[in-house]
Amino acid sequence: MKCKSAFAALLTLACLGLACAPVAARSTGPRRHESIDSVVIHSTGGPTCDVRTGKPVWIKAGTLADDMRVIEAHPKLGIHYMIDRDGTLRRSVPEDQIAHHVFGYSARSIAIELVNDGDGMDVFPAAQIDALVTLLRDIARRRGILREGVQRHSDLDHGLLSCDRTQRRKVDPGAAFPFEAVLDAVFPAKIGGLGLSQQ
């Protein structure tokens, strides 16, 4: 399973850059001590360094089942939700627990992982985006998250690959992700300050 081992390598390298605190494997994390003020969107694919060659490689998306199995077996990293291309939603770490997914922001954010190559060419299907919008609306309502509180992983991590200091290590969810359209769907504009949503 090349995808599975590649995704595992990507997660291991991510943790090296996270200074991750110990966390139980599977779908648990430490209790939060900060309030949640953001949601971070990820993709399962992305750049990493090939452990055999020391060269940069691009990890493909993998499957929902394999990606969930790998991340839930990781001793330190975690996510709260993963959404497949067909809109299938899987929960992992409970929201009231920390999932280590982005350096410096994990304690106060919710992680949503999208099954996608993250390379700017792999299109996000409508079913996946619809499921994401539904989930984000629910989280924003329950947690009081504002539009600016929804971030892409690439907005927060500007580190470079250890094997190629010219290439960013976190570019997800990638240029194909319809970020502004998603935000507009989750946070509809108000008309004339009257609090009326455009439909």
The whole-number average pLDDT for the span 123-137 is 98
Q: Where are the domains of the chain?
A: 2-188
- Please tell me the predicted confidence (pLDDT) of residue 76: 87
**Overall average pLDDT of the 176-184 stretch:** 98
Q: What is the 3-state secondary structure (H, E, C) of the chain?
A: CHHHHHHHHHHHHHHHCCCCCCCCCCCCCCECCCCCCEEEEEECCEEEECCCCCCEEEECCCCHHHHHHHHHHCCCECCCEEECCCCCEEECCCCCECCECCCCCHHHEEEEEECCCCCCCCCCCHHHHHHHHHHHHHHHHHHCCCHHHEEEHHHHCCCEECCEEEEECCCCCCCCCCHHHHHHHHCCCEECCCCEECC
Is 2-188 a CATH 3.30.70.1520 domain?
no
Instruction: Supply the pLDDT for residue 193.
Output: 52
- The confidence score (pLDDT) of residue 3 equals 43
Mean pLDDT rounded to a whole number for the chain: 87
Which tens digits make up the pLDDT trace of 43-73? 999 999 999 999 999 999 999 999 999 999 9
- pLDDT band for position 28 (cuts 50, 70, 90): confident
